[in-house]
Amino acid sequence: MEIPFHKPYITDEEITGVVNAIRSGWLTMGPRTIEFENRFAGYVESEHAVSMNSCTACLHLALRAIGLREGDEVIVPAMTFTATSEVISYFNARPVFADVETGTSNIDLNRLERHFTEKTKAIIPVHFGGQPCDMDEILDMARAHGAHVIEDAAHALPAWYRYRKVGSLGDITCFSFYATKTLCTGEGGMAVTDNGQWAEAMRVLRLHGISRDAWKRYAKNGTWRYEVIAAGCKYNMTDVQAALGLAQLAKLEWMWQARREIADRYDEAFGGMEELITPFVKPDRQSAWHLYSLKLNLETLQIGRDRFIDELSKRGIGASVHFIPLYRHPYYRNKYGCGLHEYPASEWVFGRIISLPIYPGMMEEEVSGVIEVVTHLARKFKR
Ligand SMILES: *Cc1c(COP(=O)(O)O)cnc(C)c1O
């Protein structure tokens, strides 16, 4: 049995939508992109949604919107993808890594306060695997220090925190529509905010800094006149991507239910095994279940995480690791000289985590297959 780590869930609706977009003759940003933004804003209960060609682009322009400057500091969790942090480097500002909780892999409130300084301009919490961070406390702490909260919600669509949707919580929230994410357009992202000025700034900056609605200049009633008001970027989404996004958005909650059922099956199967530690979700929130991040109880096993993944792979099961902590990568290590001992929880988590396949369209037999193999390996290599 071959079970890939991920397969996007694409059906006739996406294909028809994309074909119609191409047939319309309008291939770049246009009416479908605007409709996708409007529907998306409505879905996550935010005032404004600004689409871009990636979540990384959204994070970059969110930081430009809040006015990040050279020499500023931005707090990010150590346990994240480099995108969360690299955008800070674009400004010659400094990413400050915070340790995470061992249970959720989210930023640890108890170790957060110490990282705020006079220079802290923002914090970028990452909703690891789709589980929202402790947003009320993070927002309070950030406000007390005059810092903004930009959420990296690349995993968290849809997700709920105290009955509110992720997208309606922080100052600016950035989603990813990368091929493996819970809503995919191949590449793509969306920044949402209730702040009209920030939304407007991001809209202008995503398309060369050209004054608003410049994309309309090729439409029938458009005009050739435009004004450049900033040094912007080429970050806009296209109508072909938006067509995929619209079809995916229509079945977002169904896809979420499908992932949740798989998570429940894994929890049930692995919950009672002492060799394995199932993901911990706090009671006042709902995860998007972008990832099912299982941990190995190394003290009861003869093999480590790397070998466990090799054994899974030998048996046809795709697995992955989210994430290699940022301070372990040469770029950050060389630039900021951060040591492993500063992040005991991230190190603990990193040595144990395995992301298992979890996606709508995974067959019943495939879920059972993963359970069977993981259980078998845990028993076989029991200490
Ligand atoms: C995927 C991912 C991103 C980047 O998303 P792109 O759309 O590929 O730019 C950012 N942060 C995290 C945590 C991610 O997993």
pLDDT digits (tens, 9 = 90+) for 334-367: 998 877 789 999 999 999 999 999 999 999 999 9
- Over range 287-298, report the average pLDDT: 98
Per the annotation, the verdict on 181 as an active-site residue is yes
* DSSP string across 252-274: HHHHHHHHHHHHHHHHHHHTT-T
Largest distance between two CA atoms of the chain: 73
Given 250, 267, 302, the domain boundary residue is: 250
Query: Do 32 and 149 sit in the same domain of this protein?
Result: yes
Given 230, 250, 270, the domain boundary residue is: 250
Ligand 1 site-directed mutation target among 178, 287, 326, 355, most atoms within 8 Å of CB: 178
Query: Do 208 and 345 sit in the same domain of this protein?
Result: no
Q: Which of 121, 165, 181, 295 does the annotation list as catalytic?
A: 181
- Which atom of ligand 1 is nearest the CA belonging to 176? 7
Q: Quote the pLDDT of residue 211.
A: 85
Which residue in 147, 91, 83 sits closest to 117, CA to CA?
147
189 CB within 6 A, ligand 1:
yes
Q: How confident is the model at residue 215 (pLDDT cuts 50, 70, 90)?
A: low
Query: Do 181 and 303 sit in the same domain of this protein?
Result: no
Q: Quote the pLDDT of residue 337.
A: 83
In a domain, 3, yes or no: no
State how far the Cα of 296 lies from the Cα of 307, in Å rounded to an integer: 11
CATH of the domain at 74: 3.40.640.10
Q: Quote the pLDDT of residue 339.
A: 78
Query: Do 91 and 228 sit in the same domain of this protein?
Result: yes
In a domain, 319, yes or no: yes
Q: Which domain holds residue 101?
A: 12-250
In a domain, 6, yes or no: no
State how far the Cα of 22 lies from the Cα of 40, in Å rounded to an integer: 22
Task: Write the residue with the smallest CA distance to atom 14 of ligand 1.
Answer: 154
How many folded domains does the chain comprise?
2
Query: Do 239 and 321 sit in the same domain of this protein?
Result: no
CATH of the domain at 376: 3.90.1150.10
Interval between CA 187 and ligand 1 midpoint (Å): 10
Given 199, 233, 250, the domain boundary residue is: 250
The tokens describing 86, both together, are: 């690299």
Summarised one tens digit per residue, pLDDT across range 4-29 is 999 999 999 999 999 999 999 999 99
51 CB within 6 A, ligand 1:
no
154 CB within 6 A, ligand 1:
yes
Q: CA distances (Å), 208 to each of 51, 93, 230, 235, in order?
A: 14, 22, 7, 8
Query: Do 137 and 23 sit in the same domain of this protein?
Result: yes
Q: How confident is the model at residue 226 (pLDDT cuts 50, 70, 90)?
A: confident
Give the pTM: 0.97
Q: Quote the pLDDT of residue 213.
A: 67
The proportion of the chain whose per-residue pLDDT surpasses 90, expressed as a percent, equals: 94
The proportion of the chain whose per-residue pLDDT surpasses 70, expressed as a percent, equals: 98
- Which atom of ligand 1 is nearest the CA belonging to 177? 7
